[in-house]
């Protein structure tokens, strides 16, 4: 079936995205005044995975992101590079709706992150420095809490653990885990959720070479399942092997590379 999108009006705020309308037509009509988002299913399906318009974020006296604009199509794997403190983590956290940008507009899969954070969050998975796991619970218990909140069966939690090479029978608390095991558990959370957009913040640190190889295989699995990927890392070679595009950040400003 031929999909005919609506008129290519693009993002209300920026004309640049209008050019996207030429081949992949999408439109998001956002009425801030009534706090509603009018999107036809076609629009949502055709909207880019991620769209940022002039996004800035300030922490205390420091600007972590300065007017970053970015559009990422679906199925893309974007490599995010930059020095420490260049804003990679902040960018990922903004995309995950973990922090609200100080100014600017974020759209994930055609949904306005400021207006519909819940719907955005249901589609996005963030692998962050903080692993979102309870230290006093075992790996399985942690995943079971998540599975219940996602209405997944308990077997899904077991499966996710096994897929990452962790034993569901291991009832030690996470407090006793090594750094590599924690990272695997955090990834198991991501696999349990199966998000449409996966945001990975430095996934390779603290992993031994076998761990890195395994992780690469898992990331390829995500890619082949059509997941849109944003990968922030200092391991540029590994990143370039996995990703199709690259964005370089310097002092919170985007330098497309």
Partner 1 sequence: MRRPGLLASTWVLFRKDLLLEWRSRARVNALLFFSLATLLLFSFALGPDTALLRRNAGGYLWLALLLASVLALGESFRVERENATLEGLRLVPVNARAIFLAKAVANAVLLAGLGGLLVPVLVALLDVRIVLPVGQLLGLILLGCLAIAAPGTLYGAIASHARARDVLLPLLLFPILIPALVAAAKGTALVFEGDPMGQFPSWVALLTSFDLIYWGLGVLLFPRVVEE
Partner 2 sequence: MSKPVRIGFVLFAIALLVSGAWIGLAWAPPDREMGHVQRIMYMHVPAAWMALLSATMNFGACVSYLWKASWKKDAFAEATAEVGLLFGTIAILLGAIWGRPTWGVYWAWDPRLTTMAILLVAYAGYLALRRFVDDPDRRAVWSAVVGIIIAVDVPVVYFSVKWWKSLHQVQSTPRTVDPQMVIALRWNAFAFLAVLIVFLVTRYRIALAARMRETTVPDAPAGAREAVAS
- The residue within the footprint of partner 2, chosen from 9, 12, 13, 14 (CB under 8 A), is 14
Applying CB under 8 A, does 45 fall inside the site for partner 2? Answer: no
Q: Among candidates 172, 168, 186, 175, which has minimal Cα distance to 132?
A: 186
Degrees, nearest 5: CA angle 207-127-65: 110
Residues 232, 88 contacting (CB under 8 angstroms) = yes
**Using CB under 8 A, which of the segments 39-47, 67-75, 118-126, 235-243 binds partner 1?**
118-126
Rounded CA gap, 170 and 199, in Å? 28
9-17, 26-34, 76-84, 93-101 -> range binding partner 1 (CB under 8 A):
93-101
Under the criterion CB under 8 A, does residue 118 sit at the interface with partner 1?
yes
Query: Is there a contact between 183 and 131 (Cβ–Cβ < 8 Å)?
Result: yes
Render 4-16 in DSSP notation, one character per residue.
Answer: ------B-SS-SG
Which residue, among 49, 207, 29, 61, has the nearest Cα to 123 in the 3D structure?
Answer: 49
12 binds partner 2 (CB under 8 A): no
Q: Is 255 in the site for partner 2 (CB under 8 A)?
A: yes
* Location of structure tokens 């507009």: 105
Shortest approach of partner 1 to residue 222 CB, angstroms? 17
Smallest separation, CB 253 to partner 2 (Å)? 5
For partner 2, the binding residues in 88-107 under the rule CB under 8 A are 100, 102-103
Tell me which residues touch partner 2 (CB under 8 A).
Answer: 14, 16, 20, 54, 56, 58-61, 63, 66-67, 69-73, 76, 78, 100, 102-103, 244-245, 247, 253-256
């Amino acid at each position: 079936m031929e999909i005919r999108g609506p008129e290519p009006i693009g993002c209300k705020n920026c004309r640049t995205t209008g050019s996207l309308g030429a081949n992949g037509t999408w439109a998001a009509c956002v009425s801030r005044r009534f706090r509603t988002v009018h999107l036809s299913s076609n629009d949502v399906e055709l909207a880019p995975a991620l769209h940022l318009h002039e996004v800035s974020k300030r922490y205390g006296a420091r600007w972590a992101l300065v007017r970053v604009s970015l559009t990422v199509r679906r199925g893309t794997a974007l490599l995010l590079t930059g020095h420490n403190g260049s804003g990679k983590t902040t960018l990922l956290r903004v995309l995950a709706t973990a922090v609200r940008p100080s100014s600017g507009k974020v759209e994930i899969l055609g949904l306005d992150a400021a207006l519909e954070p819940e719907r955005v969050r249901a589609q996005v998975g963030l692998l962050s420095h903080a692993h979102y796991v309870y230290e006093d619970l075992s790996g399985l218990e942690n995943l079971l809490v998540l599975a219940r909140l996602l209405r997944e069966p308990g077997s899904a939690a077991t499966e996710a653990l096994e897929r990452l090479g962790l034993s569901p029978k291991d009832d030690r608390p996470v407090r006793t885990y090594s750094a590599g095991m924690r990272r695997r558990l955090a990834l198991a959370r991501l696999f349990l959720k199966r998000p449409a957009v996966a945001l990975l913040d430095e996934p390779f640190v603290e992993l031994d070479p076998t761990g890195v190889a395994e992780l690469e295989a898992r990331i390829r699995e995500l890619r082949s399942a059509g997941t849109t990927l944003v990968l922030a890392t200092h391991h540029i070679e590994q990143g370039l092997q996995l990703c199709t595009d690259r964005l370089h950040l310097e002092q919170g400003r985007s330098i497309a590379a």
